[in-house]
Amino acid sequence: MIRFLVLTLALLSQWSIAAEPSAQRLVVVDGSLTEIVYALGAEDQLVAVDTTSVYPEPATGLPNVGYMRALSVEGVLSLRPQKLIASSDAGPPPVLAQLRQSGLDVTTIKIDASVDGLYSKIDEVAAQVGKTAQADQLKQSIAEQLVPVMQTVAAHQGKEHPSALVFLGMQGNQFMVAGQHTKAQALLDLLEIDNAAPSIHGYKPFSQESVLSADADIIIIASHAGQRPETLANRFAYTRAAKNNKVMVVDSALLLGFGPRLPQALMQVADVAYGKTAK
């Protein structure tokens, strides 16, 4: 009888966990999606994230499944998740296919570097974690935060656009400059800032001579955790941007994540490009 009661209680416990959406064991792969999970108040469902999930700080204390493009079946399944939410950049595809074949509920979300794309990501994540009401509140908050920065941009319409170079990481001794078809370009487009490397597609090495030749009004450096901002900025000390105090170092997850902090990212760049935005 005792053994029967123990088994019954165990089964009831498992059933209640499965029946309660907030108790699902969730793995999220993509820093912007992790930020959305926290912004929706669904962080209690998280059991693991990937290496791009560096904000908010509590996310860095969770088990890590590795780099988003180099996931492993064993690394994910060892955490006994019930659901995995990943961006369309995650992979490799055969690993995601094997995870689905194992019975894991895998949802991939298309990455669209735009305001509408952000709202869509919020809706899709919210549907997966049972927070649709919170999604509406979050989108409304973001929309309100976007108003002053978009007003600043609108106030400069008809005037000559400032130009910028955006750098992400290094290859050898050269920074990788952001060109067309990148999240950096999408951010510049929102702010009506011209890319001073218009012929570049994707991310390509950019020499010191090319930096000087581009003569950008602003230099933006996307910094990763562990990098020293002052060391990065010193590389551009002789540029026009530096002479005008317009070399900025911004956390890459904030700058290029296109997550809930997008208004703050736009505001930081707009403040340098156009002057302080009225809050």
pLDDT tops 80 at residue 103: yes
pLDDT tops 50 at residue 261: yes
Q: What is the pLDDT of residue 157?
A: 86
Domain spanning 153-274: CATH 3.40.50.1980: yes
CA distance 86 to 114: 18
Token pair of 172 as six digits: 């050898």
Angle at CA 184, nearest 5°, toward 178 and 190? 140
CA distance 147 to 141: 10
Three-class DSSP category at 87: strand
For the residues 16-31, what does the mean pLDDT come to? 70
Residue 232: band (very low, low, confident or very high) from pLDDT cuts 50, 70, 90: low
Q: What is the pLDDT of residue 226?
A: 55
pLDDT digits (tens, 9 = 90+) for 114-161: 999 999 999 999 999 999 999 999 999 999 999 999 999 999 888 899
Three-class DSSP category at 243: helix
Residue 171: band (very low, low, confident or very high) from pLDDT cuts 50, 70, 90: low
Asked if domains 14-130 and 153-274 share a fold, the reply is yes
List of E strands, 213-257: 218-223, 247-251
Q: What is the pLDDT of residue 1?
A: 36
Q: Is the pTM of this model over 0.85?
A: yes
CATH superfamily of 14-130: Nitrogenase molybdenum iron protein domain (3.40.50.1980)
Q: What percent of the chain has pLDDT over 70?
A: 86
Per domain, the residue ranges of the chain are: 14-130, 153-274
CA distance 51 to 92: 15
Q: What is the pLDDT of residue 216?
A: 97
